[in-house]
A and B are shown apart, each in its own frame.
Chain A
Amino acid sequence: MNKLIKNTLFFFILLIGISYPISHYITTNFNTENKQNWVLKISDYNLDYAITGSSRVAYVIDVKSLDSTYNKKGINIGTSGSCFAEEYLVLSEFISKNKISTLVLNTDELSFDSKKGYKYPFHDYEFLHLFDNYNDVFFDYIPKWKYYLWKIIPITKYIEFNQRFTIRNQSLQDNNMGSNLVNDTKQYKLLFLKGRQSQIKEMDAKYFFKIIDLCGRNKIKVILITTPIYCTKEETNKSNFKHYIDSVSEKLKVKYYDFDRLIEVKRSLFNDSTHTSSEGSIIYSRNLGRQLKIDGE
């Protein structure tokens, strides 16, 4: 019996021992099929602006339309279902390899209460290879036992998410500069956010300020926006968020643009309560660009 236990332990030590070079190999060749990977692989771009946020940017902002009225060249680096922490991580990586002068950041009641707003707000499995560089972000979003397990035996993170990544090189698709408009033919059920009281969660606020701070350090101008929601101001109960964002933008001297000045709340312009249709995206993006130009942003 003791011999069995001794040999089993020896086997596990070997198993862990060889895991380090394997883990290093995966870290170096890590790829996924999602947009995060596309953004992280971009380098040497010199652009006027980048726009970021969740699917309410990824699916709503049409860079081509925005560029046409804004007279600038930009990129959409928003990733679906993401919280500020994820946007911070993606932005950090993006600006370490590319240049931008302005960041347009989407903020809304969902983004300040991401655990309620999104199913899986921080897509840790998209950034496993960056674990060592962003220890602090992972520490905030994964259970402590898992954090230390990933730190001590790095291969465990790749084993846990073995269905999510590949070590094959994914081809980088142009993706229309990151814009991915929702197909109009698929009509979703409209969900009103009526009566929903927004909350400002500490963790989300922390990463919101980290984004602002990161931009400050890199001399990037920040513009805050809220992309369209299918309900009128009266129907939604976003007073908490509104009050918060107004005070923050005033304090940080950052411009904030709410959608309600820029698009009509009309059924044909929306796919669901939080995403515009392609037509809505094009109209909103054009109007946003026009407004930013008028305001000299």
Chain B
Amino acid sequence: MLFNSLSFALFLSVVFVVYWYLTNNNLRLQNILLLAASYFFYSCWDWRFLFLLIFSTLLDYFTGIKMQDAGSKISRKNWFWLSIIVNLGFLGVFKYYNFFADTFAEVMSHAGIEVNPFTIQVILPVGISFYTFHGLSYVIDIYKRKIIPEYNFVDYAVFVSFFPLLVAGPIERATHLLPQIKKPRVFDYAKAIDGLRQILWGLFKKVVIADNCAVIANRIFDLSDDLSGSTLLVGALFFTFQIYCDFSGYSDIALGTARLFGIELLRNFAFPYFSRDIAEFWRRWHISLSSWFKDYLYIPLGGSKGGTWMKIRNTIFIFLVSGFWHGANWTFIAWGLLNALYIIPSIVLNTNRNNMDIVASGKYLPTAKEALSIGTTFILTLFAWIFFRSDSISSAFTYITNIFKPSLFTIPSIRSSNLFLLLTFFTIVEWICRNKKHCLEFDHHLFVKPLRITIYLVLTYCILFNLKFHEESEFIYFQF
């Protein structure tokens, strides 16, 4: 059940009405309903993996309690490591086993030894990277005595499997989400309307922009060997917008949906393509994952306390792990490494925390220096996405090399003027809204009701006339 499908619209409407009308604001009933709805939602992907989700939830629920009740430090530590090993074990088996087995075979064949490792033919359980990280943060926080365990299983299970964030995040923290799940929730009209607006904007980004960019980007990446440099650049540009609108569109729908149920999720995107340097980009892109790695990996490794070399080592490590988290392919690792290389100069020069504010705040346009910084960061990001999108590192290098052919200065053979216009319009709208949570967060004095309704109608028709009813259009991050 995809967010951009009629079945999800129907599912959401039913759950919403039952949640607010039939539970009579009874928190226990609301949470039971959310859990049942979440399990139903997940089982629509593949009901067999529901058992894996329930097992993972039970494991962290009990180990959390056992750690709290443990009589000794060793016992506490044992329960902690049991949870970590099992959680990472599942992730390793389902997501990375074949990658390691194949890599091992390849390395051995280079050494002249032929091995045929056993590979498993199993599809990746959707959302496993996300709910495993939920569980891990919960267990680590209990171990570090930042939080106490949740004794109510339903509440804990809702925290792990709340359907808006179950399959592709944002990656929540127990400290942020659990208190909301435990707090009585009453219907708030303004919140619900804002949630609907954010869903609408998210759908627009996914259906109208990302899916249309995908058509051209896929074509160009598939035929990349035979195309001109300018066309390849267009392909990379469209993929840059595709992945942003696809993932941030998903996150907008997730946040909007959660808000309909009175729950605020962590923000995942903050207009990252207006970043002035790569460090700022990573504070604005997939924020929930970046902050997860910062809190649970970077800081425990020593963070930025141990001098420049330690900072560089930790940064490279975090970006490699981040790349690997995305998928079991060397291209993701290369993408991570490239981003680490981008960010290292700012660490050395200690300028990585220079741009903490919103660019050109209170102004219509950026300064020439800001515009140059934004442009440079965007281009660096665009080239990194080529690794992310390519099937192999060699094809990514070939793609980039082919961009810099003399044909870079010719007219692209595959292009779409309409899409260019749409992207220009979209970028302008995002620029205007860069200090807001999402682009449909209106100033009611400026956007009077008839104007707001007109915008909703136009966006709805744009979505309806671009939505694919006879084929599925998955979100890119579902594969992670």
Whether a CB of chain A sits under 8 angstroms from the CB of B359 is: no
Q: Which residues of A have CB within 8 Å of B457?
A: 11, 14-15, 18
The 0/1 profile, CB within 8 Å of B marked 1, for residues 159-170 of chain A is 111110000000
Q: Is the CB of B189 within 8 A of A3?
A: yes
Distance of A160 Cα from B470 Cα, bound (Å):
8
Contact of B187 among A1, A22, A160, A162 (CB under 8 A): A1
Q: Judge whether B453 is part of the interface by a CB distance below 8 angstroms.
A: yes
Contact of A159 among B187, B193, B453, B464 (CB under 8 A): B464
Q: Given A11-B453, A14-B453, A15-B460, A162–B465 Cβ distance below 8 Å?
A: yes
- Is there a chain B Cβ closer than 8 Å to A152's Cβ? no
Number of interface residues of A (CB under 8 A): 15
Q: Which residue of B lies closest to A22 (CB)?
A: B461
**What residues of A have a CB within 8 angstroms of the CB of B465 in the complex?**
158-159, 162
For B464, list chain A residues within 8 Å (CB): 159, 162
Beta-carbon contacts of B365-399 to A below 8 Å, as 1s and 0s? Answer: 00000000000000000000000000000000000
Question: With an 8 A cutoff between CB atoms, is B20 at the interface?
Answer: yes
**B53 at the binding interface (Cβ < 8 Å):** no
- Name the residue on B nearest A155 (C-beta): B464
The yes or no answer to A4 lying at the interface (CB within 8 A) is yes
Contacts of A162 in B (CB 8 A): 464-467, 469
Q: How far is the CB of A25 from chain B (nearest CB, A)?
A: 12
Contacting residues of chain B (126-147) with chain A, CB-CB under 8 angstroms: none
A interface: dominant SS: helix
Residues of the A chain whose Cβ atoms lie less than 8 Å from the Cβ of B20:
1
Query: Can you list, as one digit per residue, whether each of A3-35 has a CB less than 8 Å from chain B (1) or not (0)?
Result: 110010001001100100010000000000000
Interface flags for B218-240 (1: CB within 8 Å of A; 0: not) read: 00000000000000000000000
When distances are taken between beta carbons in the complex, the residues of chain B under 8 Å from A161 are: 469-470
Q: Is the Cβ of A4 less than 8 Å from the Cβ of B189?
A: yes
Could you tell me the distance in whole angstroms from the C-beta of B261 to the nearest C-beta in chain A? 13
A160 to chain B minimum Cβ distance, whole angstroms, is 5
Q: Does B21 contact A (CB under 8 A)?
A: yes
- B84 sits at the interface (CB 8 A): no
CB within 8 A of A160: which of B189, B456, B469?
B469
Flag whether B65 is at the interface (Cβ < 8 A).
Answer: no
The docked-state distance in angstroms from the alpha carbon of A40 to that of B466 is: 26
Knowing A22-B461, A160-B469, A162-B466, say if A4 contacts B456 (CB, 8 Å).
no
Q: Which residue of B lies closest to A26 (CB)?
A: B465
Cα A7 to Cα B466 in complex, Å, equals 25
* Interfacial chain A residues near B453, Cβ < 8 Å: 11, 14
Is B347 an interface position by the 8 A CB rule?
A: no
Distance in Å from the Cβ of A124 to the closest Cβ of chain B? 12
Restricting to B306-339, which residues have a CB under 8 Å from any CB of A? none
B360 within 8 A of A: no
Cross-chain contact of A4 among B192, B467, B470 (Cβ < 8 A): B192
Query: Is B468 interfacial (CB-CB < 8 Å)?
Result: yes
Write the nearest CB–CB distance from B249 to chain A, whole angstroms: 18
Known: A160-B469, A163-B470. 4 other contacts (CB 8 A): A1-B187, A4-B192, A18-B457, A162-B469
What is B's interface to A at a CB cutoff of 8 Å? 20-21, 187, 189, 192-193, 453, 456-457, 460-461, 464-470
22 sample A-B contacts, Cβ–Cβ < 8 Å, listed by A number: A1-B20, A1-B21, A1-B189, A4-B189, A4-B192, A4-B193, A7-B193, A11-B453, A11-B457, A14-B453, A15-B457, A15-B461, A22-B461, A159-B465, A159-B467, A160-B469, A160-B470, A161-B469, A162-B465, A162-B466, A162-B467, A163-B468
